[in-house]
Structures are given as structure tokens and as C-alpha cells.
Structure 1
Amino acid sequence: MYDRWTRFHSLPESKRYAESDAEHQELQTRHVAVASELFEVGEPIYVYRCRLMERRLKGKLKHMLVGNQLREKMVRLPSGLSVSEEDDGYYFVRALVTSWAPTFFSALTKKIADWEETGVTFVSPSTKNIYCPYDGGMDVFPHTNSPSTLEAKFSSWMSSREDKM
């Protein structure tokens, strides 16, 4: 697929959603373990959120990500869908500049795993490592180590399919 890409699943047997506290704990353990291979505690990171048709909020309302305000500067990316006067055919990307901390990440991971938050990506500007959690696992684009190194370490968390999906 990609030279610098790999994927890990959040739960055993590629289960998509946690149904118990033990499964939520397993999910958190896996996400923090993989992400901690990419980011150092305190390392500056950007957390991006990209959504289709997410408008600018008016007044005191702000776009938030687990209690942290996202920057309101937007980048409009064409989605290929029909465009109306209200920008319905664009993705809007907002960012949070923060430092890597597993405690912040854990709350966000739960929201993503429960499909309460979507379209989130973590990027280290210094290492170029990219981490994309989703409701079932995580896509990883490592640059400080090879995908095969991570795959060897977390092989039991991978799909048995050849394409890693």
C-alpha cells in the first residue's frame, strides 16, 4: 500500500467497538503503546481535525477537542462533492498545537473509539510521525523508525490479511 504506513487494531480479532470496561482498557493500552513509539512526552505536536461541512462558529462558541480549543483558521479542501453557496462541498481542517501527553490522548481515543469524534490526526513537526486513530484501530505513518519495526513489536494487533486492512 504505502512504504511508510502500517495499521493496528484496537481490540483482539479486529473487533471494532469496545463493549466492556476491560475492552476499553485494552483499546487504551494499545493506542497509547503505539503512539508512544511515535511521540515523546512533552514533544510539540499538532492535532488536526478534518470534517466535511463543518462551519465556522459564531459568537463565543468555539470548536473544541476534548476541552481544548481548536484554532479557527480553516483550510478548505474540495471534497469532490457538489458545492453550494454554503460551502457544503468542502472539508474544513482545524488544528490544536499542543504537547504530547498520553492523558490528553486517552480521553480523545475513547471518543474516537466510541465514534463521538472523527477525522483526527496527530503529527509531530520535528519527526514527521503521523498517527491517525479511528473507531477500530490506528493508521500509522512512522518516519523515525520503519513500519516493519512497529509491526514486529505489535504483530498480534495486526490484521492477518496481506493488505493489513
Structure 2
Amino acid sequence: MHPDPLAWWQSEFGEIAPRGHLLRRALSAKWVRFHSLPDSKRYAESLEEYAEIEHRHHLVASALFNAGEPLYVFRAHHDEARLRGKARHQLAGRQFREALAVVPPISLGQDKEDRMYVRAFVSKWKPDFFEAAIRLLADWKEVGVSFVSPSTKNILCPYDGGMDVFTYSIAPEELRALFADWRSPRPDGL
């Protein structure tokens, strides 16, 4: 039987959608944020800066995930319709499985109209599409994507400008120390 990442997510995290800013509120003790570029620069302007983004994301992900480990890849959006025919939701050429991923909206707990639609697929670390996915997220061509280990519950939520990390297998303080230069100087860590 193929694993159902959406059922797993709901059993572990309930109605919290797999988005960094939402998880940060609920899992603040597990949260660490890292910036993708020096001086908190948000967008790359050169090949060297894109290489730095990929380097940082790869190192942080490698601290969270083991080689060949199964990963769930989630995408959570507001009001995302099911695509019909040959059109399918995808990330960097990997298709979200409609049969597994279409679920009732996960409530954000504010009101009944404010909901997220979550889709998912199963992959492995190091997925062949990771660099392409990070590039799309860094350029804000994709949003709301999370990489999650079902064995450790570690979560990586890349976004344009950085990544929110929720760690269960390594102490957040240890992760902060490993990549201290990539953190914000702000006291709140943002």
C-alpha cells in the first residue's frame, strides 16, 4: 500500500497546514529560521548567489534528512482547484498525486472561509528535483512547499529569502549553532 502523506500529516499535526508561517506559531519551540543569502538579501541577482542559495538549502536539508530517506513533499495554498485532464499540479516536474492529495481543506482556525488546500507526493532525500524546486521557491515562482521526514518529523519550509525549519531529531539550539552565520540578527529570529 502506498503511504498517504496527507493522512500522516493530519495524524501528527492536526489541522495546521504545512506552511512555515503557520507552523511557526504552533511549533515555536522547534523552529529555526535561516536566510538564503548574506545580509538577509531576499533574491539572487547572479549565478554565484543562486549557487549560495542552493548550497545553504542543501546543507540544512542534509542536517535534517538522511540519504535515501522517504520524504513527504507538501504544497498548501488557499483556494487551489483540482486540475482536470492532462493538467496536473506539479513541482519542478514532479506531479502531486491527485488520488492521494486532494483532501478537505485544512482549517486555519480563524473562520470557515479561511482555508488551505494541501496536496502531497512521496519522494526520497536527496530527490533529483531538489535544486530545481529550491530555485523556483527562491524566485517566488512556487510558494507553500514543505519537505517532511515521516520518520523524524523534521520539516523544511523553503521560501523566497530563506527557510523555516522545525526540528525534532536535533535540538534547535544545535542547528542554530551549526549555521549561526545564516541567522537573522533580530531577537525574534525573523
Contact map agreement 1:16 1:136 (CA 8 A) in 2: yes
- In 1, Cα distance between equivalents of 2:129 and 2:177: 27
- In 2, Cα distance between equivalents of 1:125 and 1:61: 28
Contact map agreement 1:10 1:27 (CA 8 A) in 2: yes
Calculate percent identity across the aligned residue pairs. Answer: 52
Higher helix share: 2
C-alpha deviations, 1:17-36, integer Å up to 9, x for none?
A: 00000100011100000010
- In 2, Cα distance between equivalents of 1:23 and 1:54: 32
Q: Give the corresponding residue for 2:49.
A: 23
- In 2, Cα distance between equivalents of 1:127 and 1:82: 32
Q: Of 87, 96, 119, which aligns to 1:70?
A: 96
1:60 aligned onto 2:86 = yes
1:34 aligned onto 2:63 = no
Structure 1 stretches of at least 4 aligned residues deviating more than 3 Å after TM superposition: 78-83
1:163 aligned onto 2:185 = no
Aligned length: 160
Which TM-score applies when normalising by structure 1?
A: 0.91
1:91 aligned onto 2:116 = yes
Question: Structure 2: any 5+ residue segments left out of the alignment?
Answer: 1-24
Which TM-score applies when normalising by structure 2?
A: 0.80
2:63 is paired with a residue of what secondary structure? helix
- In 1, Cα distance between equivalents of 2:96 and 2:127: 19
1:91 is paired with a residue of what secondary structure? strand
Q: Give the corresponding residue for 1:45.
A: 71
Question: Structure 1: any 5+ residue segments left out of the alignment?
Answer: 84-88
1:3: how far off?
1.2
Q: Give the corresponding residue for 2:146.
A: 121
Q: Give the corresponding residue for 2:176.
A: 151
